[in-house]
Amino acid sequence: MRPPTSRNSRWLLAAALLSFAVCGNLARGQSGRAPAQEPARKKPAPVKPVPPDPLPTPRTTAPQDKAETIRIDTDLVTVVTSVTSLAGATAGTLRREDFEVLEDGVPQEIINFARDSEAPLRLVMLFDTSTSIRQRIGFERRAAARFFERIMRPQDQAALFSFSTDVAVLQDFTGQVPLLTSATKQLRASGATSLYDAIFLAADYLKPVPGRHLIVIVSDGGDTTSQKTLKQALAQAQQADAVIFALFSGSPSPSENIRDLAAERALAALTGETGGEVYFPQPKLGSYIDESDEQSLNYLDAAFTKLADQLRTQYTIGFYSTNEARDGRFRKLVVRVKRPGYVARARAGYYAPKS
């Protein structure tokens, strides 16, 4: 048999390649895989035109009235006022028309008026626990517990702070007398005296709480370690609409060389400028209080009783100032009782709102 010629070889090679290509196409068709194609490009989503900002809607009468009401409520000035008669008796039957309020000498119209029985009490007692009152802390603690039992009503709340070198909250606001009396048992004498810091913190504590704001101080009035000054403490109390009362726990002497006159004047300024009062438990100037003397407890308890009576004859007066300037300045206040024979005690002024 003759070997194939070169021409025949070329024909055979071409036929083999053609057969291989046909078989490959059939195999791809049977597997279901299509030849690779370039992925289709997605068309971008159409962008919707943004409409122009609408023109401001003119204010109607109703929204204007609402906005004005909010502004006025913010500027409402409240004054807690204590009233006594010239004979020393308290007065609890006065009406709105019996009072007049002057701001910088200008009469103001009384808008809100409430007696103490209608306004909840929010009271912070600041108890001096420095070493200077170590001999008296026992019966002061007992008298404070009696005071809470006497003054608290269902709608009232009180808190107890102690202060020496530092200020501590022994009991947060509560209406439960047992918790308050239990907190008085934690009082222990030690350290120096930071009275002004305690007042500053108590006033800040009272600011956001609705009701009559009262701070009761049991102290000899001395201050040795405060970061705040007397002026700063007083301003903070005035901004919190807080009335400060004080029970003097020192032992004043007839001799001015022995008495701490600066401490006594500080208490007088704090109470007088906020509409409160200082109570002296001693039966006479210069008497010494001995913790073992039950009569001393009676004197202090009598002072707390006078304070409780004073709190029961308070009135809350509210007005909108005729001075519309929002300059943050201090404005002087005078509250008077039109009926003869009565004396009103209120804070000396307030700080105007500031824009």
- 228-240 residue pLDDT tens: 999 999 999 999 9
Residue 54 has pLDDT above 70, yes or no: no
Query: Using an 8 Å Cβ cutoff, are 201 and 228 in contact?
Result: no
**CA dihedral defined by 217, 222, 224, 230, rounded to 10 degrees?**
70
The span from the CA of 352 to the CA of 355, in Å, is 10
Q: Which of 3-7, 34-38, 291-295 has the highest mean pLDDT?
A: 291-295
Residues 148-178: pLDDT tens digits?
998 999 999 999 999 999 999 999 999 999 9
CA–CA distance, 116 with 303 (Å, rounded to integer) = 20
In this predicted structure, which of 17-26, 77-86, 214-223, 244-253 has the lowest mean pLDDT?
A: 17-26
pTM for the structure as a whole: 0.73
- pLDDT above 60: residue 5: no
User: pLDDT class for 93, splitting at 50, 70, 90?
Assistant: confident
pLDDT band at 282 (very low <50, low <70, confident <90, very high): low
Domains identified in the chain and CATH numbers:
70-116+315-351 (no CATH), 121-312 (3.40.50.410)
Is beta strand 212-219 parallel, antiparallel or unpaired with respect to 242-248? parallel
Q: What is the average pLDDT across 313-320?
A: 91
The Cα 302–Cα 150 span in angstroms is 12
Answer for the pair 196, 63: CB distance below 8 angstroms, yes or no. no
* Contact between residue 230 and residue 196 where contact means Cβ atoms under 8 Å apart: yes
Residue 302 pLDDT level (bands cut at 50, 70, 90): confident
**Predicted pLDDT at 202:** 97
* pLDDT at residue 251 tops 90: no
More confident residue, 120 or 173: 173
Beta strands 212-219 and 314-320 are unpaired
Task: Give the residue carrying structure tokens 């208490």.
Answer: 267
Going by pLDDT thresholds of 50, 70 and 90, the confidence category of residue 133 is: confident
C-beta separation of 100 from 336 below 8 A:
yes
Q: Are the C-beta atoms of 317 and 99 separated by less than 8 Å?
A: yes
pLDDT at residue 102 tops 70: yes
Q: What is the pLDDT of residues 12-34, one digit of tens each?
A: 555 554 454 444 444 444 444 44
Measured between alpha carbons, how far is 231 from 229 in angstroms, rounded to an integer?
5
Q: Phi and psi of 22, rounded to 5°?
A: -65, -40
Which residue do the tokens 């059939």 mark?
Answer: 26
Average pLDDT, the chain: 78
Burial annotation 321-343 (CB, 10 A radius, 16+ → b, else e):
beeeeeeeeebebebebeeeebe
Token duo for residue 32: 């279901």
Q: Indicate if the alpha-carbon torsion angle 204, 209, 213, 215 is positive or negative.
A: negative
Angle at CA of residue 158, ends 152 and 161, nearest 5°: 135
Tokens of 349: 């002024």
- For 164-216, what is each residue's pLDDT tens digit? 999 999 999 999 999 999 999 999 888 999 999 999 999 999 999 998 999 99
DSSP run (H or E) holding 71: helix 61-74
Nearest one of 248, 253, 258, 196 to 219, comparing CA atoms: 248
80 vs 303: CA distance, rounded Å: 21
72 band by pLDDT with thresholds 50, 70 and 90: very low
C-alpha 18/C-alpha 16 separation (Å) is 5
Q: What average pLDDT does the segment 328-340 reach?
A: 94
Helix, strand, or coil (residue 333): strand
Q: Examine the pLDDT at 2 and tell me if it is beyond 60.
A: no
Is residue 117 within 8 A of residue 280, CB to CB? The reply is no
Residue 220, phi then psi, degrees to nearest 5: -90, 0
